[in-house]
Homo-oligomer: A and B are copies of this chain.
């Protein structure tokens, strides 16, 4: 019984029962508790489950019932997959920027229990993270009711005062020919500002947005460091992206 096999069984059990105990897993896997603990530590580090004292739980069960409607239900599975990958890039102690947008907001469930600092202009994200381990800094400025986010000059200046380890962006289109594009100037200016003040810029982008061009083209590939997308993306296309200097996680 090697790690890969144990990992499968652990995740399967957690998925079925919602929560498990170290003791039971040790018996199930015919191994020692210390090994189970080591496995659980690895898996929780990868964001595949939530470690509790004495066992582990399904990630989704740990979320607080602060329901602030996330409008978009399309491509949920892909977005969750992308966000789970994204969460693996985040270490304890990190300071990260989170853009507004439906994809990025799905990242919350995976980072709730990390001791990190999140700087964001998205109100749904603020609500999701309120009362969790995460320390939240809200970008100030004009409220954009339609997008439930903060925008405007003051917001840009607020961002400029901070420096983050990583920025997670969720924009509306990316194409080889024209770079990054957004649905509005407001979103474009926020994304640009976040990118400028982060060491590493990560784009969370499901495959449907690849080679799409939205209303406003506002930046080139240079702005990005990493692109995280889902498995349904065209592999040949991703190779071309990689040749442009982008690191791809898929």
Contact of A126 with B by CB under 8 A: yes
Query: B12, B46, B131: which contacts A48 (Cβ < 8 A)?
Result: B131
How far, in whole Å, are A158 and B210 apart by their CA atoms in the complex?
Answer: 38
CB distance from A38 to the nearest CB of B (A): 13
Instruction: Check A141/B143 contact, CB under 8 A, given A4-B50, A4-B52, A52-B4.
Output: no
* Contact A138 B140, beta carbon cutoff 8 Å: yes
Stretch at the interface among A54-62, A90-98, A217-225, A235-243: A54-62
Contact of A231 with B by CB under 8 A: no
Contact of A24 with B by CB under 8 A: no
Chain B residue nearest in CB terms to A56: B4
User: What are the interface flags for A107-142 relative to B under an 8 Å C-beta threshold, 1 for contact and 0 otherwise?
Assistant: 000000000000000010010001110011111111
Chain B residue nearest in CB terms to A5: B19
Query: B8, B132, B141: which contacts A138 (Cβ < 8 A)?
Result: B141
Query: B8, B19, B50: which contacts A61 (Cβ < 8 A)?
Result: B8
Stretch at the interface among A74-82, A148-156, A166-174, A188-196: A148-156
Query: B55, B135, B140: which contacts A158 (Cβ < 8 A)?
Result: B140
Instruction: Check A4/B145 contact, CB under 8 A, given A158-B140, A158-B154.
Output: no
CB distance from A218 to the nearest CB of B (A): 23
Query: B11, B64, B139, B161: which contacts A64 (Cβ < 8 A)?
Result: B11
Q: Could you list some 30 contacts between A and B, CB below 8 A? A: A2-B53, A2-B54, A3-B52, A3-B53, A4-B57, A8-B61, A11-B64, A11-B65, A46-B64, A46-B132, A47-B130, A48-B66, A123-B126, A130-B143, A130-B145, A131-B145, A135-B142, A135-B143, A136-B142, A137-B141, A137-B142, A137-B143, A138-B140, A138-B141, A138-B150, A139-B140, A140-B141, A140-B150, A154-B161, A158-B158
